[in-house]
Chains A and B, each alone.
Chain A
């Protein structure tokens, strides 16, 4: 899986009870616009626009399986998220963004850069691979 990039505000939001990573609704969104580590909330109308073609696309829930620490290291394990183009294309997109849909301002958690823009044709899928062993993110 490509590497996780943290939004700077995420650490403060964690410390100030914005996130409950065990039970909040976490979603993965796709965009072709580079996220900035200074971004704080999900803004699909400006900073984080959806792909220009978005047939069958919407930010999609990632279901938590485990939110726990062992030996002082916290790990969030969550399910794979699959986007399927339906009735047309989805794309282009290069970045996957994880946001907290429960939090008041849809606060951002992190993003992943896939290196180049991707476009799905009708019937094709893109899989956001959530690492079942190391989790989506770890906190030490």
Chain B
């Protein structure tokens, strides 16, 4: 029985590690797309439709895979929820 408990705790630690790995990937993507979004948003009232479309295409390319990362992070956060509904990203 204690073996199973130990394995479950190990699995939780693996999920935490994966969450942090995804966090790093997400931050790397946002480090590229964030400045493009900021530049577009700062000039949004002055952009022609073509310029806007060019910005949107650059953002889309930079953020490929980001949604999937956010979904997996959400799944891990839900899986790691404790009885009080909170998720802890550090081992208890």
Which residues of chain A have a CB within 8 Å of any CB of chain B?
23, 25, 61-65, 78-82, 84, 101-104, 120-121, 123-127, 129-130, 132
**B interface residues, tally (CB under 8 Å):** 24
The answer to whether B87 touches A125, judged by C-beta atoms less than 8 angstroms apart, is yes
In the bound assembly, the distance between CA atoms of A65 and B65 in angstroms comes to 10
**Chain B residue, CB-CB nearest to A23:** B56
Can you list 26 A-B contacts with CB-CB less than 8 angstroms, sorted by A residue number?
A23-B60, A25-B41, A61-B30, A62-B70, A63-B70, A64-B67, A79-B70, A79-B74, A80-B70, A80-B71, A81-B70, A82-B70, A82-B73, A84-B89, A102-B41, A104-B44, A104-B45, A123-B88, A123-B89, A124-B87, A125-B87, A125-B88, A126-B86, A127-B74, A127-B77, A127-B87
**Chain A residue, CB-CB nearest to B65:** A63
In the bound assembly, the distance between CA atoms of A80 and B73 in angstroms comes to 8
In the bound assembly, the distance between CA atoms of A82 and B30 in angstroms comes to 14
With an 8 A cutoff between CB atoms, is B5 at the interface? no
The answer to whether A124 touches B86, judged by C-beta atoms less than 8 angstroms apart, is yes
Which residues of chain B have a CB within 8 Å of any CB of chain A?
30, 37, 40-41, 44-45, 56, 59-60, 63, 66-67, 69-71, 73-74, 77-78, 86-90
**Chain B residue, CB-CB nearest to A119:** B86
CB-defined contacts of B69 to chain A, threshold 8 Å = 79
What is the CB-to-nearest-CB distance from B24 to chain A, in angstroms, rounded to a whole number? 13
The answer to whether A82 touches B88, judged by C-beta atoms less than 8 angstroms apart, is no
**Chain B residue, CB-CB nearest to A101:** B41
The answer to whether B86 touches A63, judged by C-beta atoms less than 8 angstroms apart, is no
The answer to whether B70 touches A125, judged by C-beta atoms less than 8 angstroms apart, is no
CB-defined contacts of B88 to chain A, threshold 8 Å = 123-125
In the bound assembly, the distance between CA atoms of A129 and B78 in angstroms comes to 9
- When A82-B77, A101-B41, A102-B40 are in contact, do A132 and B71 touch as well, CB less than 8 Å? yes
What is the CB-to-nearest-CB distance from B66 to chain A, in angstroms, rounded to a whole number? 5
In the bound assembly, the distance between CA atoms of A23 and B58 in angstroms comes to 11
In the bound assembly, the distance between CA atoms of A132 and B74 in angstroms comes to 11
CB-defined contacts of B63 to chain A, threshold 8 Å = 63
Specify which of B37, B69, B74, B78 lies most central, judged by the most chain A CB atoms within 10 Å of its CB: B74
What is the CB-to-nearest-CB distance from A105 to chain B, in angstroms, rounded to a whole number? 11
